[in-house]
Amino acid sequence: MIDQIRPGQLAQWLQSMRAHGEPMVLDVREPHELQVASVSADGFTLLTIPMGTIPTRMNELDPDQPIACLCHHGARSMNVAAFLQSHGFAHVANIAGGIHAWSAELDPSIPVY
Active site (annotated) includes residue 71: yes
For residues 27 and 99, what is the distance between their CA atoms, to the nearest angstrom? 9
Query: Which residue among the candidates 39, 71, 81, 110 is catalytic per the annotation?
Result: 71
For residues 44 and 23, what is the distance between their CA atoms, to the nearest angstrom? 5
Backbone dihedral angles phi then psi of residue 112, each to the nearest 5 degrees: -95, 150
Asked if residue 70 lies in contact with residue 76, where contact means CB atoms within 8 angstroms, the answer is no
For residues 14 and 18, what is the distance between their CA atoms, to the nearest angstrom? 6
Residues carrying an active site annotation: 71
